[in-house]
Chain A
Amino acid sequence: DIQLTQSPSFLSASVGDRVTITCRASQGISSFLAWYQQRPGKAPKLLVYAASTLQSGVPSRFSGSGSGTEFTLTISSLQPEDFATYYCQHLNSDFLTFGPGTKVD
């Protein structure tokens, strides 16, 4: 099974900061990766799919990149509503793995 790891696990940042989160796959997964944001007590929200395609309605300060085994989610200028936990997910699989999450605090 493909495993996903995320780094860092925890990230302390301030409003206006540029934030980068990395997701690594245990083997190549082409660009079959999604990113989700989860605020406390809320359901996850799809931000990016196919590694770099922004979901409709998601602010342009979010961007995704990467392919193969290394992927990044970047927030160009952190806003107050962006303090949340972020998960990557492997798509196109019989086992739709989620990463362990990165909390942005």
Chain B
Amino acid sequence: QITLKESGPTLVKPTETLTLTCTFSGFSLRTNGVAVGWIRQPPGKALEWLALIYWDGNKRYRPSLASRITISKNTPMYRVDLAMTNMDPLDTATYYCAHGGRHSESGTSYFPFAYWGLGVVVTVSS
């Protein structure tokens, strides 16, 4: 059974760095074809994909936030971290991590998010 859980501070000040942890079970990031992503959702707004890390260490970032975010994995600890620098009140959101399993079509791979954590609410305020 795949489960994911986000953890981290619920309140950060503007300009601070946010570090969130996704702790998971039921799969390993050593396994070929697995990815973990971070997605956020500002209050009352749509989902916004932030970052993705693959089993082989490759990473993808939302272009508009790429200079501020870093995704990393601690494979033995079944953990993926997200760091976001220079936090702003506009970064107030629920932050989710999710598991993506590889599917292939016409030789192209894609990773729908079939398993999600419950999310962690992060407020940015002084």
Is there contact, CB below 8 Å, between B60 and A50? no
By a beta-carbon cutoff of 8 Å, the part of chain A in contact with chain B is 1, 30-32, 34, 36, 38, 43-46, 49-50, 55, 87, 89, 91-92, 94-101
A-B contact count (CB 8 A): 66
Known pairs A91-B110, A91-B111, A92-B109; A44 contacts B47 (CB<8 A): yes
On whether A43 and B96 interact (CB within 8 A), knowing A92-B110, A96-B37, the answer reads yes
List the 5 closest A-B pairs by CB distance, nearest first: A91-B110, A43-B116, A49-B112, A92-B110, A96-B49
CA distance A50 to B109 in the complex (A): 11
Residues of B near A46 (CB, < 8 A) are: 112-114
Residue numbers in A under 8 Å from B117 (CB-CB): 43
Main secondary structure of the interface of A (DSSP, over half): loop
Do A43 and B46 touch (CB < 8 A)? no
On chain A, the residues within 8 Å of B26 by CB distance are none
Size range of the chain B interface in the assembly: 20 to 34
Q: Roughly how many angstroms separate A50 CA and B62 CA in the complex, as a whole number?
A: 22
Given the known inter-chain contacts A31-B105, A50-B103, A96-B49, please indicate yes or no for A91 contacting B62, CB distance below 8 A: no
Shortest C-beta distance, A96 to chain B (Å), equals 4
Q: Tell me how far the C-beta of B117 lies from the nearest C-beta in chain A, rounded to whole angstroms.
A: 7
Residues of chain A within 8 A (CB-CB) of B103 are 49-50
Q: Collect the chain B residues with CB atoms within 8 Å of residue A100's CB.
A: 46
Contacts of A38 in B (CB 8 A): 47
B103 to chain A, nearest CB (A): 7
Q: Which residues of A contact B119 (CB under 8 A)?
A: 43
CA distance A72 to B32 in the complex (A): 32
- With A and B bound together, what is the CA distance between A49 and B105 in angstroms? 11
Is B67 among interface residues, defined by CB-CB distance under 8 A? no
